[in-house]
Chains A and B, each alone.
Chain A
């Protein structure tokens, strides 16, 4: 079965420290990979995506993520966390195939708390 795992329900980091939010996936073939963020009482916002090419992708708000095919991972990173980064982060994957079986598959989310 195709799935996305975010192994940590919550991540706590101090402001100014680097942060990592983990994501691993299990899908057939090469996937499209996405990260979204949801701030409190707000809708989901797209952060970044991996389609093809360079394994390191850069997105909004200074975030980046690295696609690792051998480890089937797409961890989200930021060199220096801000208190305003505190939010719920979701990883998603979409398979590369035609037909109806192309829906996004979502992780359960990771709550990031950045402490001042």
Chain B
């Protein structure tokens, strides 16, 4: 596709339910990032995939969070047993190489009620 695509754009879920967020990066981009952003705040790093290397999971806030990237392309961020504090906009970005800029998707707004 022309850009980074994230789905769904909005998700409302009940506390305790599991959710899956999807990211389709730009074709050929080797780097993929997941971030979380609360309203008007900065970017909270979650996880980083780079090519075939083991992902950098250092930003995942708890073991309820996990992510995978299949075939070096599509990525899924899974949040198990959602809590109200998980409510935020989840952003995905991809980039082609270290010197290239990252392109962001429009994000998934997650609301846990």
Contacts and interface: CB of A to CB of B under 8 A. Distances in A.
B53 A103 contact: no
A106 B43 contact: yes
Contacts of A102: 31, 50, 98
B101 interface: yes
Contacts of A101: 56
A49 B103 CA distance: 13
Interface of B: 31, 33, 40-43, 45, 48, 50, 53-56, 91, 93, 95, 98-99, 101-107
B103 A103 contact: no
A32 B107 CA distance: 25
A107 B42 CA distance: 8
A46 interface: yes
Size band of the interface chain A makes with B: 20 to 34
B91 to A, nearest CB: 7
Contacts of A106: 42-43, 45
Contact of B53 (A32, A100, A108, A111): A100
A108 B102 CA distance: 17
